[in-house]
Amino acid sequence: MPNRPAQTLLVVDDEPGIRAAVCDAARADAERCLTAATGRDALDAARRQHPDVIVLDLGLPDLEGVEVCRRLREFTQVPILVLSARHSEAEKARLLDAGADDYVTKPFGTVEFQARIRAQLRRARRPAPPHGPMAIGPFTIDVERRSAARGDVAVHLTPTEWHLLQTLVANAGRTMTHLQLFRAVWGSSDGDPQQYLRVYMAHLRRKLEADPYAPRHFVTEPGVGYRFEIEPANGQ
């Protein structure tokens, strides 16, 4: 990616081996790599060095991962990519609700990790949601004008489906928890949000994915939430 300012990465992990591996994997995308071994050091570094992305391990000796996310979010909107080891899907959803942007499960592959870092950096550089018509596979979508088409054939979406699509597009590349999506689209978490959400997502996929059984843009993170990917990360 040419002509962009040098990016700074902050890696928070108490294992020196992981810190080195993360810095090494991200060296193509982040020129500067800062490290911290504890949650307090991480908060301190984030305040003073203004990193462009934070990679946060959850097994820190001093603070809970959720707590570090919460405290970071008190003063910065920097993307947070969480490294989790043995955490259940419910715990991951809790982290995302506390302000994390994405998570990678150990042991992660370098390619997967680089894709996630890139997606976060891209999001950070472009804080506003994408404007104008977007090409999503064979579909063209314009969320502002509320129009979708496959070639010349218009695709009809219901108002709720548009609302859901807008929310996902505005947070493209980011895993949205069920709670976050429901709050954004329905404005509350009353009732039985998850089952309606699943059915709406199924309808969206059937309308906007070439193959609803092999979705490339409307990705399910089982037990956690959904992520909209403009450019499929794994190049399927």
Partner 1 sequence: MANSGRPPSRWARWTWPLSFAALAAVTAGLFAVRGEVDKAHIVLAFLLVVLGGSAAGGRLLGIALSAVAFFIFDFLFLPPYYTLVIQDPLDWLVLVAFLITGIVAAQLLARAEERAETARQRAVEVERLAVLGAETLNVGRAEEALSAIARVIQSTLGVACCEIFVARPGGGAYRRAAAAGACTEVGEVDPAGLAAWVAQAGAPAAERGDRTALVAPAPTPAADGGAWTPLPLWNIEGDVRALLVPLRVRDRTVGVLRIAHDAPVALDPAGRQFLDALAYYAALAVERVHLSAEAERAEAFRQAGQLKDALLAAVSHDLRTPLTSIKAIAHRLAERGTAEAASIESEADRLNRMVADLLDLSRLNAGSLPLRLELNVADELVGAALRTVSGVRGERLVLVQAETPGVVGVVGDIVQSVRVLVNLLENALKYSPPGAAVELAIRRRADRVEFAVADRGPGIAEAERDRVFTQFYRPPGTAPDVGGAGLGLAIARRLAEAQGGAVRLEPRPGGGSVFTFDLPAAEVPALGATGG
User: Which residue ranges make up the site for partner 1 (CB under 8 A)?
Assistant: 15, 17-18, 20-22, 24-25, 59, 85-86, 88-90, 106-111, 157-161, 194-196, 198-203, 205-206, 211-215, 219-223, 234, 236
- Least separation in angstroms between residue 175's CB and partner 1 is 13
Strands of the chain (E only): list them. Answer: 8-12, 32-36, 53-57, 80-84, 102-105, 134-136, 139-142, 147-150, 153-154, 175-177, 218-221, 225-228
- Least separation in angstroms between residue 75's CB and partner 1 is 29
Comparing CB distances to partner 1, the nearer of 16 and 138 is: 16
**Distance between CA atoms of residues 67 and 63, nearest Å:** 6
- Least separation in angstroms between residue 20's CB and partner 1 is 8
Helices H / strands E in the chain, number of each:
8, 12
Comparing CB distances to partner 1, the nearer of 140 and 160 is: 160
- Least separation in angstroms between residue 102's CB and partner 1 is 16
- Least separation in angstroms between residue 195's CB and partner 1 is 4
Comparing CB distances to partner 1, the nearer of 22 and 36 is: 22
**Distance between CA atoms of residues 81 and 60, nearest Å:** 15
Question: H-helix or E-strand containing 168?
Answer: helix 159-170
Q: Which two tokens stand for residue 120?
A: 């976060």
Comparing CB distances to partner 1, the nearer of 157 and 181 is: 157
Comparing CB distances to partner 1, the nearer of 71 and 81 is: 81
Comparing CB distances to partner 1, the nearer of 152 and 211 is: 211
Give the SS3 label for residue 208. helix
- Least separation in angstroms between residue 52's CB and partner 1 is 21
Rg (CA), the chain: 18
Composition of the chain by helix, strand, coil, percent to 5: 40, 20, 40
Whether 219 contacts 213, CB under 8 Å = no
**Which amino acid is residue 217, in one-letter code?**
H
